[in-house]
Structure formats: structure tokens, C-alpha cells
Amino acid sequence: MMNKMFLKNRILLRLIILLIISILLLFFTGCEFYKENKDYKKIDYVIGVSQANMLEAWRLVSTKEIKEEAEKYTNIRLIITDATSNPEKQKKDINKLLDYGIDLLIVSPCDVKEMTPVIRKVYHKIPVIVMDRAVEGFDYTLYIGPDNEQIGKQAGESVLNLLTNRISTVLELCGSQNSKSSIDRSKGFQSIISEQSGIDILQYRIETATRDDTEDMVLEIGEQLNNVDVIFAHNDYMARGAYLALQQLGMEIPIIGIDGFTGENNGISMVQNKRIAGTITCPTGGKEAIQFAMDILNNVSGVPKQIILRSHSITEDNVDEYVESLDQPLIVSDHIIDVGYSQLGTESAWRLANTASIKEAAKDAGINLIFEDANQSQEKQVEAIRNFIKLKVDVIVISPVVDYGWETVLQEAKVAGIPVLLSDRKINVEDDDLFVTFIGAEFLEEGRRAMHWIADNVKSNNESINIIELQGTTGASPAIDRKKGFEEILSQYPQYQIVYSEVGDFTYQGGKKIIEEYLQENEWSIDVIFAHNDDMALGAIEALEENGLMPGIDVKIVSVDGTKEAFKAMKEGKLNCSVECSPLLGPQLMKAVKDLVSGKELPLRIITDEKVFTQKDAKGLMKSRKY
């Protein structure tokens, strides 16, 4: 009875608030109540949108996409605010949105450092979707954004395709020195260009990143342009400014831009009109933000933690095909979807839970899963993939044993017209078109989190902190990235050092053996053990106890996975910290399969939710663990 009264009062309050907002926000600078001609009585959800600013053309497109997608739902309302690139104003905007009783917040932070604690606080009250600029940590419901470094790499490849001479000069027109996207684009671009000898980069920075200021800058460069073979502009508005300047100078230099928006004088039309040679699409995520907001509010399973949007290289050769693809209707499958899945093995409790999750999700989704266990053999995985091709499955999914040696068999799948998804582990191939997307954890972040915990909880007191590292399988992407992420943070603490590092192949026996061999050859002087997974940590614990050492006390132990056995060890005080890497990928994977078969474009990467657990968490959360 009390719950019903509460709901009635909440609905009445919301109707009153919405009616007041529509009047008051007319006088509230930087805030827009987006309502169209919808009936207030049909409102189920109010979504607040806090934009970093409404000056950048890219953000105007983002806001436009959010509005257009929201129009497809009759039961939601948007309240949109403009922070005008002022973090203090954005904080006030968000507080007002909360006062209006919003059910979900979509936010593009204007200052990551300033807004991280604010977003964290909101996240503990209502769902939060972060767009464009990722805040520190994982205290949000979903992040949606592009990979600007990857976009820069694609721009670099496009530029190389335009160069005809071994000795060449490229003019790079950068955005603001404070722009993270511009920094990342330049980093990716230069990583590709630096691979080719004889190419000089002439770099100029336009702080406003606008068309007019770019036009003026290129006009000032003047005669130096005679030696320039290609221009790379960090957005299409700058590309247009460069084009207009070249027209005035009577010069023709091919230009590559970034954004790839449709509409007059935007990137796509400029490629079609041959004003620029190409553009790299940089999706705003506005449409996806509303789609996932509705999934979150309606408790749809399979919503990931991060969506890294896909970008495309657009040239004169493929621009018409790309434009046509934008309006393709979704396909309704007329048959049961067949998925061939190659699992790498059963090396750990994590892997067993991963397999169970995928099988269960396939059953729930009505998908026919053809399952093959490779037992840690890449040859068996290649054989399984070729068998899937013969069976003409709709989709192939691989959890690869190692990250190399996949080009030949994936090319065979591509020729057969069968899309390939990667689950849990990544691969390293020159042609990224050989697979559609990666679904799994952010292994780099897991390594970073492990070292952050050590730095915060194992104090050096001006003395050296000695660390043993138990590595996963050689060549496996989790082992590579966890080590890289760990060492990235380790480099910030000179008194912390890895004194011993060996491969334990992600197995219990592998972790135990490393510690046994170290103890046989060395006097114990280790402060911390960092294990790339829980199984190796548990093996190390047994070895320590057999040699009279107290794990968790004599040596702190940090691992990755967050399994039930790890929680048990934390509860017993033997394991100090476990960084979560969820194996429950089934719902996200099957949602991606169904979206792909229906004709939706999948993101570049789909990252799952993860937390950091300590001994304090173990007792209360152990019973709720599903693996």
C-alpha cells in the first residue's frame, strides 16, 4: 500500500515538475526542455543531457542525433543543458537536473578531472551514460565514445595512400593543445607516418579548430605549401577552411579530414564534390546514447560498460556506398541463427564460468550454438573455424588462445561472407576488417588497477618494494595488456620494482611452480605478488603456506578475475585484492550476434563492467558471486 502511494505521489510530482520546467527553463540560460508535441500523461522517463558545450560543431551534431533518436520514443522527455565549457556551470547544471527528478543522466564532461567525482556521486543515485570523454575509474553505467588514436591511425593510412613520392611533406593541422581528442589523433597519425622513412610532418595548431581560423592560418603559410604533398586536418571544418584557402591561393593539395558528417559542406559532401580526398568518420554516439538509455531504463540484459564506436575511412571510391548504407532498414531473421563458437579451453574456473554463460545466453536468445573446445591448441581452433565455414554458420565467435597467426583462416571466413566476433581475448592482425568487434574486458585497465591498489595499500616508506609477477600465457592478449597496464602505473613509483617475473599460463599449478622455484633459488624478500589471474594466485598461496610463509600477511597478493575461490581466499585473509574480470559475457555476446544479423553496425569494442574487490568486500559479496 505504501509503495503504491509512493508511486502515485512520484508520478503526480513529476507531472507538476515537468509543467513548471517548461515555463521556468525559458528563463534558464543554457538549458533546453525538449518536449515536442507529446502528451505529458504518457511520460515514463525523463532523461537529462549535460553537454560540455554547444559551440563545437561536433557537439551540435551530437545533440541533434540525441534529439532525433529521442523523437522515436513517445514516453520520454529530454532536458538538455549547455555547460559552455565551464566545469562549475556543468556541476550546477547536473544538480538542477537531479532536482527535476531525472531518471538517467547523459553527460559529456567538459573537464574530466573536475567532473569525475560529480559523476561518481550521481552514479550512486541514478544511471549515468558518459559520452566522448571517459572519466577516471568505472563509476558510471555506460561509456560511449570514439577511439581517437585509432582514427588518427586511419588518417595516417589514408595519407600514405595519397603519397606518390618516397620523399614527401605532410601538413598536419591540429586542434587545441588542451584537446584530448586532438592529442590522441596526432599520436595515432604520427605512429603510422613514422613507419615510413622520408616523410616530414609540418605541424600547425589552430586552437579554435574552426573553419575561418584554419583558412587564415593556411593563407599565412603561403609559399611553404609548395612543398606540401598532403594536408591532414583534425576535423572536417578545418579541412574546409584549408580547401577555401587553397582556392584563393590557386593551389591543389589533397586533404584528409575527420568527422564524416552528412549534410551540405560537411565531410561526406566534400568528398562527393571532390573538395577533399577523404574523411575518417568520428561518430558522436548520440543515437546510441538514447538507444542504450532505454535499454538501461527497461532493464534489458546485455548492456556493456563501454562502447567504443567504429570509424570508417571514406574516399571517392566508397562514399556513395557508405551513404547508401546509412539508410538500410534492419533485417528480421527468417531462421534460427547458427553461431560457431571456438572456446580456447578449460584452464581455469573463470573459463568454465565463461563457457557456461555463453551457452546459457545462447539458449535464452534462441540461438543455435555449435561449441568447440580447443584445449589450448590454436591448431584445433583453426580447424574448428574451417569446419564452421563448411557448415555455413551465420556468425563465428573465437576466444583465441594467442593473439597472432590468424590472418589466413580469418581471410577464409571473410571470403565466405561469415562475420567473426572476438570474445574475451584480442588478436593482432594487419587487416582489422578480418573481425567485426571485440567483446570482453579492458585488460590494460585491470593491470593499472592492480598497481594502483598496491601503491595505495603497500607503502614504501622510502624503502624498495619488491614484486613478483605471475604472467599469463605468452602471446595471450590478457597477459600482454595486464602487464603493460601494470607497468604503466609502476613507472610512476620508482621505489616499486618487479624483481622476478615468470609465465604461469593462467593455471593453478603454473602459479605454484613459479613460487616454488623462486624459493628454491632465492632468500625470501618479496613484498607483493601480482598474479595475472586468480588461479595462479591461489597456486602461489599454497606454495607459500607449504614453505612456512603467511600469504596476505608476510606478502601481499593481488590478482585478476574475482572468482568465488578468490573471494574465499580474501575472506580467509590469504588474498588481499582481486581486480574483477567478469566471465559472464554471454548476454552481451548474444545481443551483439542478434544486432549484427539484423544489419546493425557493431562498435569497434564492447567492454564489460568490472570492479575492484578487497578483503573488506569478500564476506558480504561472496554469496552473490555467480562464478
Check pLDDT > 90 for residue 105. yes
Q: Which residues contact 167 (CB under 8 A, 6 or more apart)?
A: 198, 199
Integer Cα distance of 537 and 517 in angstroms: 15
**Average pLDDT, integer, range 147-159:** 96
Integer Cα distance of 560 and 581 in angstroms: 6
The mean-pLDDT minimum among 69-73, 307-311, 392-396, 429-433 falls in: 429-433
The mean-pLDDT minimum among 221-230, 560-569, 608-617 falls in: 608-617
Check pLDDT > 60 for residue 331. yes
Q: Is the dihedral of CA 194, 196, 197, 200 positive or negative?
A: negative
Residue 32 banded pLDDT, cuts 50, 70, 90: low
Cell numbers representing residue 362 in the block: 545462447
Residue 609 banded pLDDT, cuts 50, 70, 90: confident
Cα angle: 74, vertex 80, 83; to 5 degrees: 165
Which residue bears the cell 502528451? 39
Check pLDDT > 60 for residue 19. no
Which residue bears the cell 568518420? 281
Integer Cα distance of 329 and 344 in angstroms: 36
Give residue 14's pLDDT: 56
The mean-pLDDT minimum among 2-6, 273-277, 617-621 falls in: 2-6
Check pLDDT > 50 for residue 614. yes
What are 216-238's pLDDT values in tens digits? Answer: 999 999 989 999 999 999 999 99
Which residue bears the cell 591532414? 232
Cβ atoms of 256 and 275 closer than 8 Å: no
User: Which amino acid would we find at residue 301?
Assistant: S
**Average pLDDT, integer, range 305-323:** 95
User: Which amino acid would we find at residue 207?
Assistant: E
Give residue 611's pLDDT: 87
Please state the φ and ψ torsions of residue 228, each to the nearest 5 degrees: -90, 130
The mean-pLDDT minimum among 409-423, 426-440, 534-548 falls in: 426-440
Give residue 467's pLDDT: 98
How many Å is the Cα radius of gyration of the chain? 26
Give residue 604's pLDDT: 92
Give residue 590's pLDDT: 94
Task: Name which of 461, 452, 415 is nearest 434 in CA terms.
Answer: 415
**Average pLDDT, integer, range 548-567:** 96
Q: Which residues contact 8 (CB under 8 A, 6 or more apart)?
A: none
β-pair partners for 146: 309
Give residue 474's pLDDT: 93
Check pLDDT > 80 for residue 1. no
What are 57-85's pLDDT values in tens digits? Answer: 888 999 999 999 999 999 999 999 999 99
Check pLDDT > 70 for residue 325. yes
Q: Who has greater pLDDT, 472 or 34?
A: 472
Integer Cα distance of 101 and 429 in angstroms: 48
**Average pLDDT, integer, range 149-154:** 96
The mean-pLDDT minimum among 176-185, 397-406, 540-549 falls in: 176-185
* Highest-confidence segment of 23-32, 34-43, 114-123: 114-123
3-state SS string over 483-524? HHHHHHHHCCCCCEEEEEEEECCCCHHHHHHHHHHHHHHCCC
Residue 139 banded pLDDT, cuts 50, 70, 90: confident
pTM: predicted TM-score of the whole model, two decimal places: 0.81
**Average pLDDT, integer, range 337-353:** 92
Cell numbers representing residue 413 in the block: 571466413
**Average pLDDT, integer, range 180-198:** 93
Distances (CA, A) of 133 to 112, 130, 294, 459, 607: 7, 7, 21, 32, 16
Strand, coil or helix: what is 276?
A: coil
Instruction: Write 369-374 long-range contacts (CB < 8 A, 24+).
Output: 369/339, 369/341, 370/338, 370/339, 370/340, 370/341, 371/341, 371/343, 372/340, 372/341, 372/342, 372/343, 373/343, 373/345, 373/346, 374/342, 374/343, 374/344, 374/345, 374/401
**Average pLDDT, integer, range 357-369:** 96
User: What distance lies between CA 530 and its chain's CA centroid?
Assistant: 25
Q: Which residues contact 323 (CB under 8 A, 6 or more apart)?
A: 262, 268, 272
Check pLDDT > 60 for residue 18. no
Q: Who has greater pLDDT, 252 or 14?
A: 252
Give residue 333's pLDDT: 76
Query: What does the DSSP 8-state code read for residue 25?
Result: G
What residue ranges define each of the domains in the chain, with the CATH number in brackets?
2-140 (3.40.50.2300), 148-285+319-324 (3.40.50.2300), 338-440+586-608 (3.40.50.2300), 443-581 (3.40.50.2300)
Integer Cα distance of 566 and 450 in angstroms: 15
Please state the φ and ψ torsions of residue 550, each to the nearest 5 degrees: -100, 100
Q: Who has greater pLDDT, 178 or 311?
A: 311
Query: What does the DSSP 8-state code read for residue 27?
Result: G
Integer Cα distance of 122 and 573 in angstroms: 33
What are 469-510's pLDDT values in tens digits? Answer: 999 999 998 999 999 999 999 999 999 999 999 999 999 999
The residue count for the chain: 627
Give residue 608's pLDDT: 86
Integer Cα distance of 549 and 545 in angstroms: 5
Strand, coil or helix: what is 101?
A: coil
